[in-house]
Chains A and B, each alone.
Chain A
Amino acid sequence: AQKVTQAQTEISVVEKEDVTLDCVYETRDTTYYLFWYKQPPSGELVFLIRRNSFDEQNEISGRYSWNFQKSTSSFNFTITASQVVDSAVYFCALGTGSARQLTFGSGTQLTVLP
């Protein structure tokens, strides 16, 4: 069975602080994909990144960075110098061939205070 755990239900930071959102996954598949989505208050989930299981390189996109570690089954997301517009619910998701669908974590509500 596939499982995604986002243990942090809510995080609150002050603007300009760095913040890391944790994601731990479980699967027996050797080939899989990991995703991060952002859901702002407007409701629409926005795709942020996709990473396959054979690519453990960390990725940086502006203030966003992702750390994929197969050894700990984690795919963590860091926002550097957070801004109020980063306030949203962030979802981590896992896609595998055996499940043939995405399994989402329960989400982390990030609030960035001015």
Chain B
Amino acid sequence: DVKVTQSSRYLVKRTGEKVFLECVQDMDHENMFWYRQDPGLGLRLIYFSYDVKMKEKGDIPEGYSVSREKKERFSLILESASTNQTSMYLCASSPPGQGFLQPQHFGDGTRLSIL
């Protein structure tokens, strides 16, 4: 079974801090994704990556950046955290092929609170 592991289940940070959310998958998947989930809005794509050192913006990239130095690891970075970035963050991965065609495997999520 694919395992997608997110480094923290709950995280509390302060406004202006630089925040790192880590995600690791163990199935050698090329595709990795970061979403945020907010009530009534479903999942919204922040960034995705189809290969090492490759990244593409999703629907809501503002205030975020990502890093993919190794195939199994995809990091989401909040450059200067703000209260409107309080949310549930979900990482996902999928097998080779176009990411939108493949079933994605999700981690448990990180509930991030920015005070």
Contacts and interface: CB of A to CB of B under 8 A. Distances in A.
B105 interface: yes
B106 A33 contact: no
A95 B101 contact: yes
Interface in A60-112: 91, 93, 95-97, 99-102, 104-107
B6 to A, nearest CB: 10
A44 B108 contact: yes
A104 B90 CA distance: 13
A104 B100 contact: no
Interface in B64-115: 88, 90, 92, 98-101, 103-109
Given A101-B45, A102-B104, A104-B42, A43 B98 contact: no
Given A43-B88, A91-B43, A107-B42, A102 B100 contact: yes
Contacts, number: 59
Q: Which of B99, B100, B103, B109 has most chain A Cβ within 10 Å?
A: B100
B12 interface: no
Contacts of B58: 101
A9 B33 CA distance: 25
Q: Which of B90, B103, B106, B109 has most chain A Cβ within 10 Å?
A: B103
A100 B100 contact: yes
Contact of A45 (B98, B99, B106): B106
Contacts of B48: 101
A42 interface: yes
A44 B100 contact: no
B77 to A, nearest CB: 20
Interface string A38-66: 00001111110010000000000000000
Nearest to B58: A101
B42 A47 contact: no
A9 B43 contact: no
Contacts of A107: 42
- Closest 6 CB pairs between A and B? A95-B100, A45-B106, A104-B42, A104-B43, A43-B109, A47-B103
10 contacts: A6-B42, A9-B40, A43-B109, A45-B92, A47-B103, A99-B100, A101-B99, A104-B42, A105-B42, A106-B40
